[in-house]
Amino acid sequence: MTGYQIFWPLFAHVALVYGLYALLGLRRAKMVRAGKINKSEYRENRGEPAESLAVKNCLANQFELPVLFHVCCILLYITDADNIVTLGLAWIFVALRYAHAAVHVSSNELRYRSPLFAAGYVVLAAMWIWLAVWMAMG
């Protein structure tokens, strides 16, 4: 591949993270205004209401498996192992992260969230396997 196409899914994931931070701020402000929690309690995250806790947990999740995604994309680019297939996998991973986040901050139903996470896990594993194969053959 030529250019920086493999980085666009990274930007899309970064946009998700920024969106979740904004949502967390909005939900926390709403909880403070409603009197459900004092602003000072957020300093130590004691007793966070479920409405904002789901977003906080979703946001934390964006710094777990997705960290491996970002590293893999950078390594794919550096080693010239990026191609249309890895680009497609990268976009699928990001789409799954968006879907996972949407479920996480809304219904938080594990019967929907878990398969979305598992699918992203498999897609990312395929990207890492391709990178390893590429490097072993190179």
Domain boundaries, the chain: 8-137
Is residue 2's pLDDT more than 70? no
Dist. CA 70–CA 28, nearest whole Å: 29
pLDDT above 90 for 56: yes
Query: Which residues are CB-neighbours of 58 under 8 A, at least 6 positions away?
Result: 20, 101, 104, 105
Over 80: is that where the pLDDT of 1 sits? no
- pLDDT over 70 percentage in the chain: 99
Q: How many CB atoms lie within 10 A of CB 6?
A: 21
Q: 43 vs 30, which has greater pLDDT?
A: 30
When the pLDDT of each residue in the chain is averaged and rounded to a whole number, the result is 95
For the structural domain made of 8-137, what CATH number should be given? 1.20.120.550
Q: What is the mean pLDDT of residues 25-30?
A: 95
What does the pLDDT average to over 75-84? 96
**Which pLDDT value is given to residue 41?**
82
Average pLDDT, integer, range 76-105? 97
Distance CA 116, CA 97 (A): 8
Tokens read off for 136: 């072993």
Task: Quote the tokens at residue 119.
Answer: 């699918």
Residue 40: which H helix or E strand, with range? Answer: none
Global pTM reads: 0.95
